[in-house]
Amino acid sequence: MTVIERREIALVDLLDRLLAGGVVLSGDITLRIADVDLVRIDLKALISSVNEQVPSPWPELT
């Protein structure tokens, strides 16, 4: 086994790396009965961390 194969990454480290760069989630949901589309929903979400360089889009609640 090489060092790369034995390398373990903690879930917290993985989430930290993903949120530092940002993650885009997308998906489609279709409600269909008897081959007739009744409802179609397109989902798109951007998840990223917020810091001084990338401020929150919502004002502070104080």
**From first to last of its 62 residues, what are the pLDDT tens digits of the chain?**
555 556 677 778 877 777 777 788 899 999 999 988 899 999 888 877 766 766 666 776 65
What's the sign of the alpha-carbon dihedral 45, 48, 53, 58? Answer: positive
Q: Find, among 32, 33, 27, 29, the residue nearest to 41 by Cα.
A: 29
Longest pairwise C-alpha distance within the chain: 55
pTM (two decimals):
0.43
Q: Residue 3: what pLDDT?
A: 53
DSSP alpha helices (H): ranges in the chain?
3-6, 11-21
Domains of the chain: which residue ranges? 3-47
